[in-house]
Amino acid sequence: MKFQRAYRYRFYPNEVQAQQLARTLGCARYVYNWGLEEQIKNRRDHGRILPYKDLAAQLKILKRQPETVWLCEVSSVVLQQSLRHLDTAYKRYFQKLSEKPTFKSRKGDQSCAYMANAFVYRDGQITLAKHREPLDIRWSRPLPDKAVPSSVTVTRTASGKHYISILVEESIEPLPASQQQLGIDLNAKELVLSNGIRYQTPKNLQRLEIRRRRYQRACRRKIAAAKKSLGLSPRAPLPKGSRLPVSNNLRKAWRKAGRVAERQANVRRDWAHKITTAIVRENQMVAMENLNVQGMTASARGTQEKPGKRVRQKAGLNRAVLNVGFGELRRQIEYKALWYGRQAVVIDRWYPSSQLCGACGFKHEKLTLKDRHWTCPNCQQRHDRDLNAARNILVAGQSMLQDEQNLYRGASRESKPVERVLVADRHQPDCTPTRREAGKIVCENDPARQP
C-alpha cells in the first residue's frame, strides 16, 4: 500500500539563497499573522470566519498596496500556503483537535511550504521558485526509486540551520506477522513494557536543560537592559506600537539558547524514533493508555486568592513528563503500526491499570503514587507497580481486540486505534474486577452481567 512519507535533509544555502529564504520566511509569517488578524476581526464583527477563497482574494489586494508591495518579491504559492495552513488550523480548532490559532513570532523556528508548481526537481536536485541555482542538499539517505516530490517544506531553526522536508508517495510493504504482543506503561522516568524491558529517558536532557536555562537568563538580562534604555521597568510590558531595540549581543544570546533547545528536541526525537520503531517491528499488537498530558502538566500555581501548593515540585514533575513525550510516542506508534501492518490499541485513561492485581484481578483502591511496589491483600502477590500496570494494559488490549474482531482481522493495513472504556462505568466504584475470563478482566457485580 502507498503512503505519503516525508524525508528531511539539511542544506547549506549560499548568500543569495539565504537572503531570498529570509524574505520568503518573513513574508509567509506576515501573511499568516495578517490572515489571523482578519479572521479575528470578522469573527468578532460577523460571528464567522472567512473561507480560504475570500481571504486569498483579499491577499491579491494586499499585494497591490504600496505599503506591502514587497510581498511580490517572493513566490505567491508560499503566501497562499500560509493562508491554507491558517484555514486548516481553524478547522482543527473547531473540531476540538487543537488549540486556537495564535500569531507567529519571528523568534524560534520559521518554515514555509512550496507545492509542486513552486519548485523543480530534476537530476536529483531541487530548485525553488525565485531561486536561480539548486539547493546544496546533503543527501544523508536516498529518496525512493522513481519518487516524485509533491511538496517541500523549508525550515530555518532558531540556531540558523536550514532543513528541507520532501514529501513523496512511497509503497511500504507490511512486516511478517509476529506472535508477540505488548503493553506499555508510561511514567515520568521511564517507559515500562509488559515483557520487563525498561527504557529510561536520555541522561543528557537534564544537562542540556541546565545549559538552556543559563542562556535564557542571559537573554532576560539583555532584554531588561534594553527596556531600561527606553525608560521602562525591566518587568513592565512594552507599550502598544513600540518595539524593543535588539542588539547584536541579544541576537547571539537568542542563537545560543536556540541551539540548545534544538539539541534537546533532536535528542528526544532520536530516542522516541528508535524505541517506537523497535516496538512496532517486534510486536503484532501494541496496547497503551490515552493519558491526559495537558491535565497532567497543568501548573499548580493557582490564583492570587487561592495560591497553589508545592508549585516548584509540580513544575519539576511537569518537565519530567514533557521530556518523555507521551503524545509523540503514541503518534509514532500509531502511524508506524499502520505502515507495517501492526495493531495499535488505545486504552481509556480511566482504566485502573496500576490498582489491579495482575494475578487475581483484585482492585487496590488505597494505592498511592508513593507505592512503587505493593502486595495484593487478596492473593499476597508482590507487584512492581509499573510492570504490573503494563501487563494489565496488555490484557485490556487483548480484550478489546476480541471485542473488535470485525475491525481487526489478521494484519489489516486499515486498522485504526480504538479507544473504549473497559470497566462498566468509571463513575460506578462498586464495579470491581475480581477475576478473568478468556483474557478479559470481569466485574462480578457488573449490572450488565446480571440476569
pLDDT digits (tens, 9 = 90+) for 39-84: 999 999 998 999 999 999 999 999 999 999 999 999 999 999 999 9
Residue 67, pLDDT score: 93
Question: How is residue 148 written as a grid cell?
Answer: 516524485
Residue 320, pLDDT score: 80
Mean pLDDT over 409-414 rounds to 44
| CB-based contact 85:29 (threshold 8 Å) | no
190, 289, 348, 403: the catalytic one is: 289
Mean pLDDT over 25-30 rounds to 96
170, 185, 190, 328: the catalytic one is: 185
Residue 404, pLDDT score: 66
Could you confirm whether 87 is annotated as catalytic? no
Could you confirm whether 54 is annotated as catalytic? no
pLDDT band at 238 (very low <50, low <70, confident <90, very high): confident
Higher pLDDT, 7 or 314: 7
- Could you count the other beta carbons within 10 Å of the beta carbon of residue 50? 20
Residue 57's identity, in one-letter code, is A
pLDDT band at 309 (very low <50, low <70, confident <90, very high): confident
Is the pLDDT at 402 greater than 60? The verdict is yes
38, 87, 334, 386: the catalytic one is: 386
Phi-psi group of 209: left, alpha or beta (phi > 0 → left; psi -120 to 50 → alpha; rest → beta): alpha
Burial class (CB in 10 A: 0-12, 13-18, 19+), 349: middle
This prediction's pTM: 0.80
Could you confirm whether 386 is annotated as catalytic? yes
b/e map 58-88, b = 16+ CB within 10 Å: ebeebbeeeebeebeebbebbbbbbbbbbbe
Higher pLDDT, 43 or 445: 43
CA-based end-to-end distance of the chain: 47
Q: Which of 154-163, 177-186, 378-387, 415-424 has the lowest mean pLDDT?
A: 415-424
Residue 211, pLDDT score: 94
Higher pLDDT, 17 or 355: 17
Instruction: Report d(CA 62, CA 55) in Å as an integer.
Output: 10
